């Protein structure tokens, strides 16, 4: 029997269930354009670089600690400047002061349960809270052993401390649900992001991270190079804001 004369029960149900969806989509989103595409002079959403001056989240003590950590995670050497000079601490500060710090794009209500290791941190603390608690606990720990803050330790002592955090041999007194290792991994992750994210966000100053690994940045046309196999790309990186 041809479709349309007497619809089968299955077809009727399928089409009936589609109707409300279609009606909603039609009313909410549809917009028809005829003739040429709409266009406006000066249209555009220029990127907004972070304010490079001052600190928006960290306290002065926290700044000293974080700068010391990022400078050990990415130490200055013959290949590049260190994490501090590259602006990794500035990057992390701006991220914590923004949406990331407050987990404002994540579901942050209960119930809270221990997830699998692959699911990452599952507790109640936002990244702001994890940094605040982790940095406090780190300096508490350092002061009991050395009568100094982390930033005042000699570099090899700092390295030993960080290695302890990473391996889990060193157990900081952290808020419930936050492990020492998870805190370390959060800082390491954000430090790398600060070293390689666009300079717009406060880190990767002078595109040092990109120059180090030979990443060309926000270029997007390689037609003149695509067939030159095994030849290094000759153009230096360019940032979103046009720095080159």
**One residue of 78, 224, 227, 232 binding other proteins per CB under 8 A:** 224
Helix, strand, coil percentages for the chain (3-state, nearest 5): 45, 0, 55
Nearer to other proteins, 224 or 227 (CB): 224
Q: Is 17 in the site for other proteins (CB under 8 A)?
A: no
From 160-168, 187-195, 207-215, 235-243, span contacting other proteins (CB under 8 A): 235-243
Residue closest to 181 by CA, chosen among 172, 192, 193: 172
Least Å distance between CB 199 and other proteins? 14
Nearer to other proteins, 47 or 168 (CB): 47
Nearer to other proteins, 48 or 156 (CB): 48
Nearer to other proteins, 146 or 219 (CB): 219
39 CB-near residues (< 8 Å, 6+ apart): none
> 27-66: which residues touch other proteins (CB under 8 A)?
35-37, 39, 41-44, 46
- Site size toward other proteins (CB under 8 A) is 18
Nearer to other proteins, 104 or 244 (CB): 244
> 203-222: which residues touch other proteins (CB under 8 A)?
219-221
Nearer to other proteins, 107 or 220 (CB): 220
Q: Is 244 in the site for other proteins (CB under 8 A)?
A: yes
Q: Is 234 in the site for other proteins (CB under 8 A)?
A: no
Residues that bind other proteins (CB under 8 A): 35-37, 39, 41-44, 46, 219-221, 224, 235, 238, 241-242, 244
């Amino acid at each position: 029997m041809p479709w349309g004369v007497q619809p089968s029960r299955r077809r009727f149900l399928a089409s009936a269930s589609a109707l409300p969806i279609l009606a909603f989509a039609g009313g909410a989103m549809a917009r028809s354009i005829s003739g040429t595409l709409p266009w406006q002079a000066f249209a555009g959403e220029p990127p907004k670089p972070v304010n490079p001056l001052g600190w928006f989240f960290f306290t002065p003590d926290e700044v000293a600690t974080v700068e010391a950590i990022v400078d050990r995670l990415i130490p200055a050497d013959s290949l590049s400047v260190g994490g501090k000079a590259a602006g990794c601490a500035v990057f992390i500060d701006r991220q914590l002061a923004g949406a990331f710090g407050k987990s404002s794009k994540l579901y942050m209500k209960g119930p809270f349960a221990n997830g699998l290791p692959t699911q990452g941190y599952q507790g109640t603390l936002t990244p702001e809270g994890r940094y605040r608690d982790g940095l406090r606990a780190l300096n508490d720990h350092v002061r009991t052993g050395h009568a100094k803050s982390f930033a005042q330790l000699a570099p090899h002592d700092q390295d030993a401390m960080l290695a302890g955090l990473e391996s889990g041999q060193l157990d900081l007194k952290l808020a419930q649900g936050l492990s020492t290792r998870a805190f370390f991994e959060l800082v390491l992750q954000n430090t790398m992001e600060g070293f390689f994210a666009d300079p717009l966000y406060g880190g990767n100053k002078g595109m040092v991270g990109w120059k180090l690994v030979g990443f060309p940045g926000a270029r997007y046309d390689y037609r003149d190079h695509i067939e030159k196999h095994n030849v290094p790309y000759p153009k230096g990186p360019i940032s979103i804001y046009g720095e080159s």
